Amino acid sequence: MKTRHYPSYLKQLTLAMAIATSFSTHTFAQDLEHASPQSAGLSEQGIEDLAAGMRKAVDEGNLAGIVSTLIRDGKIVHLDAYGYQDIQDQVPMTEETIFRIFSMTKPVTGVALMMLHEEGKFSLEDPVSLYIPELAGLRVAAADGPDGVPETEPADHEMTIRELMSHTGGLTYGLFSRSQVDSMYQAANILDANGTLKEMIDKLAEIPLRQQPGSLWHYSVSVDVQGYLVEVLSGQTFAEFLQQRLFDPLNMDDTGFAVPDSDRERFATMYQSGQGGLAQPQDALGGDYREPVTFYGGGGGLVSTIGDYMKFTQMLANGGELDGVRVLSPESVELMRSNQLPEGMEEIPGYPGNQFGLDFAVVVDPSRNNGMSEGSYWWWGIGGTWFWIDPVENLTFIGMIQNRNLMYARQLQAISKELVYSAITESNR
């Protein structure tokens, strides 16, 4: 990795912001009504502190740029783009910047599958193998075996779609844990960007489950499998389904699996922050997002803008509807943000005070989640983007950065939550 230092770029942020505000392209932010902090039950100083807190990350050199928004009661009370989407070429960050959202793709995939659930195409208790027979009869790793191949035992039941949608089906990622099954995932290149979802399924069919279905929560490729399940149930490619059934109806014009050549100038550069400053990682995680795409990754393949993701999250915050377009019923949204963990499992590993629904984490302990209300549902992406929806306070926050420093991204998420809920607390004094 070659580290690039940009000691002079912070001095040019004022000029960059002046350029950014000159953009006249239409965004969802122009459709939503803006409200003063006080009218939305927020402290004006608190919202100023929120903006300053997000900008501080850029000013300190930890981020190239950031765009963030806070919506309360369906009205925008904070929307700010700051810094650069590309430092070297001095391209300012704007509301139109396109981001790799990685795992923020997962809730989108979950919504797509729940649309088919509402049409009666499946039951959550159905075995996945009923629709994807290649995954029938998978055995389960029981102990390490010779030559990197684990000893196995029969599964005590077939993985269900409910388990698939809650990361409790026995699958893994090959990235975030160490086991012989994870090593087999890596050797098989399960998430081959040059492959297809069907080829992924064929590979999974030859590898045992990491643990018994329904036994525990383990982050996995299950949402990519959900993308293939959408294809099987709908008769369309996953990309076609999303475009026709979700993106077009919600006017999410900048969301998809690739960035057209005509929009490449809006595509943010990925950085890695560290002690030496900001660097561009040499490995192209997620590929270059150019057509033609063959692997429509339900777990992390999408790019989007903050305006598009505002439409998606506001649809959920409204109980499945946006501007007269009904995507899901309120009951389906409620189900997605309801705990689906196995009995006896109180929270998901690595996220204290959180349980898991259908493709969302769900807060159960606000004291361990920087003040997020109980019942808030959320997720984030490995490139640094994050969001949460708080149905108690009727607010949504979205932050978008492109930085592969996961620890720093988690810290920034915590800061944003503390500042948002501080603005509420201060307004009540």
* Residue 221 and residue 263 in one domain: no
What gap in Å lies between CA 202 and CA 419, rounded to an integer? 46
* Residue 313 and residue 227 in one domain: no
Q: 150: domain range?
A: 110-239
* Residue 49 and residue 180 in one domain: no
* Residue 164 and residue 266 in one domain: no
ω into 330 cis (within 30 of 0): no
* Residue 243, both tokens: 């475009």
pTM of structure? 0.93
* Residue 320 and residue 408 in one domain: yes
In a domain, 396, yes or no: yes
What is the Cα Rg of the chain in Å? 21
**Residue-wise pLDDT tens digits, 151-175:** 999 999 999 999 999 999 999 999 8
385 pairs with which residues across the strands? none
* Residue 273 and residue 400 in one domain: yes
H or E stretch including 67?
Answer: strand 65-72
* Residue 341 and residue 423 in one domain: yes
What's the pLDDT score for residue 428? 83
What's the pLDDT score for residue 30? 54
Alpha helices, DSSP H, located in 189-236: 197-204, 222-234
* Residue 282 and residue 348 in one domain: yes
Using DSSP's 3-state secondary structure scheme, residue 80 falls into strand
In a domain, 175, yes or no: yes
* Residue 97 and residue 124 in one domain: no
Number of H helices, E strands in the chain: 11, 16
What's the pLDDT score for residue 7? 33
The residue type at 255: T
For the chain, the domain total comes to 2
Q: How far lies 239's CA from each of 196, 203, 236, 312, in Å?
A: 12, 21, 8, 16
* Residue 79 and residue 172 in one domain: no
For the chain, residues with pLDDT lower than 70 are 1-30, 284
User: For residue 174, what is the domain's CATH number?
Assistant: 3.40.710.10
* Residue 126 and residue 211 in one domain: yes
In a domain, 411, yes or no: yes
**Residue-wise pLDDT tens digits, 75-86:** 999 999 999 999
* Residue 94 and residue 164 in one domain: no
